[in-house]
Amino acid sequence: MRRLIFSLCISFSIISCNSQNNIEIIQDIEFARTNETKLLLDIYLPKTVKNPNLVVWVHGGAWVGGDKKDPPMVFVENGYALASVNYRLATKAQFPAQAHDIKAAIRFLRAKASTYGYNADKIVLAGSSAGGHLVALIGTTNNHTVLEGTVGEYLNESSSVQGILDFYGPTNFMTILHQSTPHGMNVRVPALKKLLGDLPENKPELAKLASPVFHVDKSDPPLLIMHGNKDPQVPINQSHELENEYKKMNLDVHFKVIYEGAHGGPEFETQENYDLVFKFLDNIFKK
């Protein structure tokens, strides 16, 4: 049975956590710099696993907040290396800066795999809310020239990923506002204006570029979606749209509706849901 453990040790250097957690942490690694802005990530390694497979976590926060700290340690407790990535927020840089930064982080993590001691032959992206949007976008735009960008030093490394874990992320900026509750509109309208520079209807080409549903093709990696049917912030139809695009292409997709689930919360943190997540990861890394 998978262990449902959420734990974290904080340091600004390599440390060993207590014997129960058995995690080594490397914090505030600079993976790129843009206009003197340092882009940082943290790496968490299970000390009991040699050369563990890598999951990359992208935080949420409506593209205007959030931070790499406090990612879900359950991945590390179950034997995976975890990299938690910061990216330029929309308060500092408009889209596609966020995509450029995350792809730069993936290239860096591939280049530094032997340095830090994990296996980056295959990488799975995971994220929630705005992070869910970004991992779905990055995962469905492998080798996309415009979104690849030129951030970072390791431009010859691949930024492609082999799996996507999308927890209640937006997927279609052309429909999200029409689907939203009044509460959702209060959150999404100002956030999208900051991310895109205006409402999606006034910048349709940029909005489509930022929307995963418009990028799905037959080359896209396996996708697992979890979304609460009572989410007041991101309409569940956003996830249905992405699922439908995957199904049109006969791609590997699984959508778990979290009944009575809102925008995250304890309904997501069940043994059944974790078993589903780790089965998904095992299927990718054991191929």
In which band, very low, low, confident or very high, does the pLDDT at 36 lie, cut at 50, 70 and 90?
A: confident
- pLDDT reported for residue 19: 34
Give the count of domains, the chain. 1
Residue 272 maps to a domain? yes
Is the backbone of residue 280 left (phi > 0), alpha (psi -120 to 50) or beta? alpha
Percent with pLDDT over 90 in the chain? 87
In terms of residue numbers, what domain contains 107? Answer: 15-285
Per residue in 173-232, pLDDT tens?
Answer: 999 999 988 877 888 899 999 999 999 999 999 999 999 999 999 999 999 999 999 999
Residue 4 lies in a domain: no
Taking only the tens place, the pLDDT of each residue in 83-110 is 999 999 999 999 999 999 999 999 999 9
Q: Which distant-in-sequence residues (6+ apart) come within 8 Å of 277 by Cβ?
A: 165, 224
Phi and psi torsions of 97, nearest 5°: -55, -40
Instruction: Say if 78 falls within a structural domain.
Output: yes
Whether residue 7 is contained in a domain is answered as: no
pLDDT digits (tens, 9 = 90+) for 105-150: 999 999 999 999 999 999 999 999 999 999 999 999 999 999 999 9
Please check the confidence at residue 235 and state whether its pLDDT lies above 80.
yes
- Residue 261 CB coordination number (10 Å): 21
What's the pLDDT tens digit per position in 15-25? Answer: 333 334 699 99
261/278 Cα distance (integer angstroms): 20
Question: CA 190, CA 195: separation in Å to the nearest integer?
Answer: 9
The alpha carbon dihedral of 25, 30, 32, 33 has a sign of: positive
What CATH number does residue 64 fall under? 3.40.50.1820
Mean pLDDT of all residues in the chain?
92
Does the residue 5 lie in any domain?
no
The verdict on residue 6 lying in a domain is no
Confidence of residue 10 (pLDDT cuts 50, 70, 90): very low
- R_g of the chain, CA atoms, integer Å: 18
Q: Show the beta-strand stretches assigned E in the chain.
A: 15-16, 23-34, 37-46, 53-58, 81-85, 119-128, 163-167, 223-228, 253-258
Amino acid symbol at 271: Q
Please state, in angstroms and rounded to a whole number, the distance separating the CA atoms of residues 155 and 261. Answer: 40
